[in-house]
Amino acid sequence: MTSRQSILSKLPAKATPPAWSSQRLVPAFVQQDQAQLVALFCEKVMLSQATIETVASVNEVPARVAALFPNAEIVVSDVLNNLPWSQVALQRVGLDLAKDGIIAVTDCFAGVAETGTLVLLSGRDRDSRLNFVSQTHIVIVEASSIVGPYEDVWQMLRDATISIPRAVNFVTGPSRTADIEQTIELGAHGPGEVHVIIVDAFEHQP
């Protein structure tokens, strides 16, 4: 008998897989009702050094953006074209990659309460570059799309009436690095500011 045969002979013919439950993978603190998940998401977003506010309707978003950045030039994701942007003092512009200080407004597929993470999808009306080249990234999150753990995001995608997109980006707070002298620097590889607007009434458009 060779050494290999000797080792293999000691292995059980059919190993019984260990018992497991998906519930054991999910932290208890995210197994809460929707209102508690929204509150937890807000807490985690602020811990990530992003800012956050809540509006009652998605139609209030342009006015809130104008209040934050009056008369500013903004790049708006095409999926949000139907919002009343013309009623506020903002200048909508196209994406110019050579320009500094880009302010971008995008929607969001889901929010993850576990870490305050934004889940952003690519698509024909969703230019993923806006998630990374802007200096200020304003993200609209539907309150009902906030989930507890990451696992629920993939279930939402499977349940959605869309094809799985080419890119699913998970973003938690502003971009940061500590490569230089272990000092945290925001905006090194992406947005230096992230502002989240939670919308209570939003007809989601996946």
Percent of the chain whose pLDDT exceeds 70: 85
Mean pLDDT calculated for residue range 177-189: 67
More confident site: 143 or 25: 143
Burial class (CB in 10 A: 0-12, 13-18, 19+), 18: exposed
Per the structure, the complete domain to which residue 115 belongs is given by: 30-175
The CATH number linked to 105 is: 3.40.50.10420
Question: Domain for residue 36, yes or no?
Answer: yes
In a domain, 144, yes or no: yes
Asked if the structure places residue 183 within a domain, the reply is no
**pTM, two decimal places:** 0.82
Place of tokens 């309460």: 113
